[in-house]
Structure 1
Amino acid sequence: MTTHPTEQSAPADDTPATSVTSVTFHDHLLPGIEAGRYRITVDQQLPAEHLPGARLDPVAQIVGVRASQFRLDPSWVHAVYPAAHSQGPFHGLLPHITLNPASLPWEREPFTGSIRNPARAPWTALLLFGEGELPGDPNALGATASVTVRALLDGDAAVSGPALDRDAVDPTLLDTPCRVVDVPQALLAQLLPEPSDLAFLAHVRSGGEDAAPADGQSSRPGRDARAVITTARFPDADRGRYVAHLVSLEGHTPPGPQAGGKPVRLVSLHSWTFTSCAASGDGFGRLAGRFAPGNGEHSAAPLRPAPAAGAGLPDELGTLLEQGMVPMTHITDSGERALAWYSGPFLPRVAPELPRPADGHFPDADGLLLHEPHTGTFATGYACAWNVGRALALADPGFATTLVRLRHQGRLRRATDRQYATYRRQLFHSSLSAGPAPRAAAPAAAPTPREQFEELLRGDALDALAASFATPDDSEPQPRTVSATPDEPEPHPQAVRATPTTYRLDAPPRSSAPQPEPQQQPPSLSPSPSPSPDAREAAAWLATLRTLSGVPFDYLVPDQRMLPPESLRLFHVDRGWLHALLDGARSLDRHPGADATTDAELDDLLDGQGPVPTAGLLLRSALVPGWPTLRFEAGAASGNAPVEVIRSEALGADVLLMLFDRMPDRLTISEPPQGLHFGVDEEGNVALRSLAPGEVGRPLGRSVPVGADPALTVTTPAGARVLNVGRLAARLAEDVKPGSPLSPAEFAVQLVRAPEQLTLSFEGTKGTTR
């Protein structure tokens, strides 16, 4: 069962409508039945009670509905903010966690059964602790204690644990460990809101970057819905490290204001740490703003090696560096060490076209060692690409086996085709010289081997032979095909007949004399086979390799100085490097003459495997781990078609690679709409947003001072800044919804802080931030 609260659709920001992504907020998503033990009683009675057997005894059955209680699957955590182990100015934001199971916070009841929960408060809460606040984790490193579920249920005299029904717990879980934290009762009373206010700290959100198609029920969360749980505590500007714990409130009683009681043992379902520092540059705005012009090596620029200052290099060497070439040590086959120049697939320029061999494919890496005339050395980039492709192909036994099998099948088809063509030519010429066969010929005493072969071809075996082996000779032009019409005479009895739906046969006319025309050709087959499964599989693997998947990073960026920390670099993709890479992968068991047909088949299939990367960018920044669903929008001034992203993948802890079908003219980097944050602005105010139908989320141009109002932001004796959630909800309702209280979804809309974004223009590398 799902509730249907008023839909709260809030745009991510106040950008033009063409770039707004709709995000929908819901109060909660209730499961059809809550976790617990239930008694099901079935009572059946027939209408005629006076008949024997009309009254049946009731049947009762005890069933248990189970849900997560002591542990949380790590894959259920979609995102946390601030990101784990991050450092930044987070003092104006409320940390939160986003969960994939949208109904998880409402699958159980918080506190004990004696506490009524009319507002549908969640059974989980997000608590934030600073350094020196938790006795078991004084440095806020996320340390927890591990106890078994049995020990948790049995209780500990030194702490106040949850009062849970042992019979309702799955017996198989009793000996499994769970993580717990012991929180001083006075501290918990300061940080945990009132039971009636907990509902405002959890909601369901759908839409955004990965929105599912609408199903026509706008008030019902979609398949992309996720639960969001927010803490009520603000990090301090210079407090240092914090640890956030998603804890279970099931089985507990609301903590009282008195101090000196036993510590409260809470089950920690998930935790992470971060550092709040006002002077840190790890916020999104500061991190992204570095890519704007004027920030030295951080500014967005082409990917090229930069010579050391004052190096005094000759002009020809500086030109090679500007073209993206890096000096490397080259070890020859004889063991000598020499200087060579290496260039990967990513260049700051459009590379000239690489001349191809006559058959279109390089047979080895030696043919790709190019001479660099200015320095008298070799350029080894293409040769390295060939070797990398071959190594990756050999490292994948599935692809290697498929490619070798495909080549053997092609050679078998070619050999069979040659033999069959020879036989057909002999048969054709013999039929022309022998004249028409008599209608009733006397049977031979014994069939000759050739007659047996002819009889085999006339039977069902021809279909199987044709479907498996009939392909045109790859060393000769395609034969001319002539189809017989109904007006033509019956073909010669010795001519081979084939299935008309698969092949068309040149049949010699019925004539008593041979035809002297020199242009007449022997009969031939004109096949139209479809690609084999092996060919499709090999082409798909090669198409993936064409996006440089699996290529070691050192071959993409040969010098780490080309991509310094906190930098964004643009590049063109060298098409010749990709060709060399694929030629190396396709070199397994390849014979240029015998495998021409197979190579042509793979080339045709590769042409239909989507666009080839032409340009891209590399981002090395703390934005990559801190914002896993970072949003990029690439555009081009020329043409109306958008720039297509062919590949977007994190290549390490802090490096992101994106490949495009063409070079973009502008790039917009923004926080993902699904990762909206909550809190106050730089002045400590909550910017009010409209809740009117059709205008939900539109800024109203006025705000409520929260940071400066002691009734709304309480400073606890421990020095924590905690929102008075109930009072803040009532205060916001007076401005945006007079006469009616706010729902959890409406409360979340008011606390939303719009994502920041950076727009870069690559015409002159102008950058703007917002």
Structure 2
Amino acid sequence: MSENTKIVQCFLPAMVAGKYTTVVHQQVIKDKSSLQDLNKTFDFGVDAARFTLNPNDIYSVYPPANQSGNYSESLPHLVFTRRTLPWERTLDGKLPVFQRDTTPENLRNPQDSPPVPWMALLLFDEEEMKGLPITKNTIAGVIQPNLSDGIIRPDIFEAKSTDKGTLKLMEWEKTTDGCFTIDLTKEQFENYIPSQKSLSLLAHAKEVRIDNKDKDGITDINADGAGVFAVIVGNRLPAKGKQHTAILVSLEGYTDYLKDADPKKNIPDDHKVRLVVLASWNFIDSGKASFSQLVDGLELKSIKIQRGVEAPELTTYFDSGYVPLEHLTRTGANTISWYHGPLVPKLFPTTSKGISFSSADAALRYDKTTGFFDISFAAAWQLGRILALQNQEFSKAILNWRLAQNQLEAEKSKNNTLNAILEDDSAINIKDKVIRYLGDLHAVTTVVPEETTTDLPTTVPNEVKHFLGNLYKLNGIPFSYIVPHEWLLQKEHLKNNKNYTGTLSLFYVDPNWIEALLDGALSIGRTNKNEALLEQAVNGNFIDGYQTQSMEISGGTIEKKGRRLNTTGFLLRSDLVSGWRGLEITAFDADNQLLPALRFERIDSDIFLGIFDGNIASISIKQPYEGLHFGIKNNNAYIKNLKNEDGTNQEIADGTADVNAELNDGLIKNNVIDIAGLARVMQEKLTAKNWMEITDESKGIHFTSAEFAYQMVDSPVKKNIAINILNTDSHV
């Protein structure tokens, strides 16, 4: 589909879930005569999700859970973190059709007989859900309902059942195990449950580049480093202006009740069908909010308080990223103090040499203008010390390293003393020499040579490097230290008569704050190498491929050279983050070069943090490829254009490059799409226009779930944002 993603029909597990028997045969032969024949039969089972689903197996859903927006033109879908999950079981517990007969003459291809997922994604509006409660149940309540209640059960029996060729519970599955169920009426089952052919088209997989994603939750990665996801798509469009519930259900054991079953079982009019609920979420089709509108509605700002400032004399403080906070002193007094975190709206240079504090109080600063203390560096220092003491690996490593340094210095002192005694050529005996030097050690030169005092030993423990590198990237820092006031990071708000849907706050990283943080961490194990170790840590030398830069700093008539962190970033707070997991964000410098990310992750449900090695000049935000929408436009009539294999759509007006007429003439009823029928029409038109490549002349064109997904998905929305508000005025 593009260099960022590849759509795959399916990824099948090595063995689908079920019971298997293997026979081992061994024959002992001597002199061409069989001495012994041994046969052993083993029974074993292959397990997979069945009556419940681990929430961690779900990567994302669309429409976003518990959100409102314009969703009526997109089919709901669910993205799994595991590539094989929809095909780890089969509807009837048997092997997929194409694997059932493996003799050469009958060997089938999964494209000819596509695997059918064992689950389906259903959609109900608020009125329908009033009579469809999702109920907490047990496995017994699924496979052994009270038949007098008129409940149709799946054809799954207990493990002790003697029926052959039927679905059974595994030995480790207990009838008392819990699950959730929903009971559909005959009409609902027949109208909303897809046919087997449609089901095979509603599940596919994607291989997606994850370089510019938050890696959290991405567990299935291929050899090329791409994330691999499975996707289940629904067959019903949301109704405009209504609340909806999307429900993922298991169809295992209901093969004979599906529309295209042969032979097909009918559901009695007064019966309901009980389905296991694997997952569900709610959303509302309301308003016009969409990905495009949310990203267009972002307020671009510096990370500082921009409202509620009535005192002009305080503007300088707020413009520098400070906020006034309540401060409880050591003596118990309540006061107000200035504080700013590591993320600041202006460039904060440092001196050319680092400063080490003896305690947190030594890092306090007093502002005579306002009469407030500046506790920023004191808080950073104390936090670094606390985090270092909490991390046992680091604290042990730094203390052991300090002991090793002390022992090294003691060894050098001893050797220098012995050498001084041995090199003494005076006439007194050795005993008197020793006594003299023991009583006058100050005369012995035991100081480490100057050229070695600032060299950092090559034996810095990896635990120390790792911990300091993580602190440098602000990993493990409480969010209240990073963003101390809610006004620094607003979400939906009205400003200058414009309604903003979120904020994109830009910042520099303050090297002084980072240095105080690192100095506090190193304070638990000070050595005479601390200064060199702190210098290395502040320069980012414990992070691969990163190092601070020196620059000339000018401020009025003052000019001095200092080092700064070559680090900028953004904090994005928006429903984009919570609604589109896997959001792809890239940052570029003024030369349009991609900036490497030091930290890039979602740190809360709707907050995303990006810290980059370099100065951001532009940002690109793009929809996640694994969650591209299955879209059908609806402007008083359904509209769906077809795409050529190269991705183009020539907009031919004669109907040969779209399926509009077919959609409006019966392929959609009550917002439910006849997926198999739509795929058939698509294949016919694409074949007629030679827009699909024939891979096998004898079998024609294969139109699988991959081809169907390619035709259905919308192009990803991309927004480029130029950054021109980062303030390069330094604080000098």
Of residues 543, 546, 549, the one that matches 2:472 is 546
Identity %: 27
Please name the residue that 1:161 is paired with.
153
* 1:755 maps onto 2:716 in alignment: yes
Of residues 291, 297, 313, the one that matches 1:284 is 291
Distance 1:337 1:155, change over 3 A: closer
Shift of 1:178: 2.5
* 1:651 maps onto 2:654 in alignment: no
1:63-82 matches, cutoff 5 A: 63-82=44-63
Please name the residue that 1:625 is paired with.
578
Please name the residue that 1:600 is paired with.
532
Please name the residue that 1:728 is paired with.
678
Please name the residue that 1:381 is paired with.
376
Distance 1:347 1:33, change over 3 A: closer
Q: Which residue identity is paired with 1:556?
A: I
Q: Secondary structure in 2 aligned to 1:748?
A: helix
Please name the residue that 1:609 is paired with.
542
Please name the residue that 1:145 is paired with.
136
Q: Distance in 2 between matches of 1:529 and 1:348?
A: 34
Of residues 552, 562, 567, the one that matches 2:503 is 567
Q: Secondary structure in 2 aligned to 1:596?
A: coil
Please name the residue that 1:275 is paired with.
283
Shift of 1:708: 8.2
Q: Which residue identity is paired with 2:511?
A: R
After superposition, give the CA deviation of every residue in 1:485-534 in whole Å (9 maximum; x if it has no partner): xxxxxxxxxxxxxxxxxxxxxxxxxxxxxxxxxxxxxxxxx99996336x
Distance 1:290 1:528, change over 3 A: closer
With the length of structure 1 as denominator, give the TM-score of the two structures: 0.74
Q: Which residue identity is paired with 1:394?
A: L
Q: Distance in 1 between matches of 2:126 and 2:328?
A: 55
| Matched pairs, number | 629
* 1:265 maps onto 2:268 in alignment: no
Q: Distance in 2 between matches of 1:59 and 1:405?
A: 58
Distance 1:750 1:588, change over 3 A: same
Please name the residue that 2:664 is paired with.
710
Of residues 395, 409, 412, the one that matches 1:417 is 412
Please name the residue that 2:629 is paired with.
677
Which segments of 5 or more consecutive residues in structure 1 lack a partner in the other structure? 1-9, 12-20, 216-221, 292-298, 436-443, 452-471, 480-525, 766-770
Indicate conservation of the 8 Å contact 1:164/1:251, yes or no.
Answer: no
Shift of 1:48: 11
Please name the residue that 1:320 is paired with.
317
Indicate conservation of the 8 Å contact 1:647/1:659, yes or no.
Answer: yes
Q: Distance in 2 between matches of 1:698 and 1:354?
A: 57
Which segments of 5 or more consecutive residues in structure 2 lack a partner in the other structure? 99-112, 160-167, 212-219, 260-265, 435-444, 492-501, 547-564, 689-699, 727-732
Distance 1:339 1:39, change over 3 A: closer
Indicate conservation of the 8 Å contact 2:222/2:228, yes or no.
Answer: no
Q: Secondary structure in 2 aligned to 1:586?
A: helix
Distance 1:604 1:576, change over 3 A: closer
Shift of 1:748: 0.8
After superposition, give the CA deviation of every residue in 1:578-613 in whole Å (9 maximum; x if it has no partner): 1111112222253xxxx2224424544665212356
Please name the residue that 1:532 is paired with.
459
Q: Which residue identity is paired with 1:265?
A: R
Distance 1:262 1:473, change over 3 A: farther
Indicate conservation of the 8 Å contact 1:615/1:662, yes or no.
Answer: yes
Q: Which residue identity is paired with 1:200?
A: L
After superposition, give the CA deviation of every residue in 1:722-767 in whole Å (9 maximum; x if it has no partner): 11112211221133223746222111100011121221101369xx
Indicate conservation of the 8 Å contact 1:706/1:713, yes or no.
Answer: no
Q: Secondary structure in 1 aligned to 2:127?
A: coil
Please name the residue that 2:171 is paired with.
171
The answer to which of 181-190 and 25-34 deviates more is: 25-34
Q: Secondary structure in 2 aligned to 1:401?
A: helix
Distance 1:46 1:128, change over 3 A: same
Q: Secondary structure in 2 aligned to 1:629?
A: coil
Distance 1:186 1:136, change over 3 A: same
Distance 1:332 1:127, change over 3 A: closer
Q: Distance in 2 between matches of 1:223 and 1:763?
A: 33
Shift of 1:163: 0.9
Q: Distance in 2 between matches of 1:369 and 1:31?
A: 61
With the length of structure 2 as denominator, give the TM-score of the two structures: 0.77
Q: Distance in 2 between matches of 1:602 and 1:642?
A: 29
Q: Distance in 2 between matches of 1:558 and 1:353?
A: 23
Q: Secondary structure in 2 aligned to 1:120?
A: coil
Distance 1:250 1:105, change over 3 A: farther
Of residues 242, 247, 255, the one that matches 1:244 is 247
Q: Which residue identity is paired with 2:584?
A: R
The answer to which of 255-264 and 231-240 deviates more is: 255-264
Q: Secondary structure in 1 aligned to 2:665?
A: coil
Distance 1:44 1:393, change over 3 A: closer
* 1:635 maps onto 2:561 in alignment: no
Q: Distance in 2 between matches of 1:383 and 1:350?
A: 20
Shift of 1:61: 4.5
Q: Distance in 2 between matches of 1:362 and 1:164?
A: 70
Q: Which residue identity is paired with 1:277?
A: D
After superposition, give the CA deviation of every residue in 1:171-207 in whole Å (9 maximum; x if it has no partner): 2212422222211121011111222222111112223
Please name the residue that 1:209 is paired with.
210
* 1:557 maps onto 2:509 in alignment: no
Please name the residue that 2:693 is paired with.
none
Of residues 393, 402, 405, the one that matches 1:398 is 393
- Whichever structure has more strand as a proportion of its residues is 2
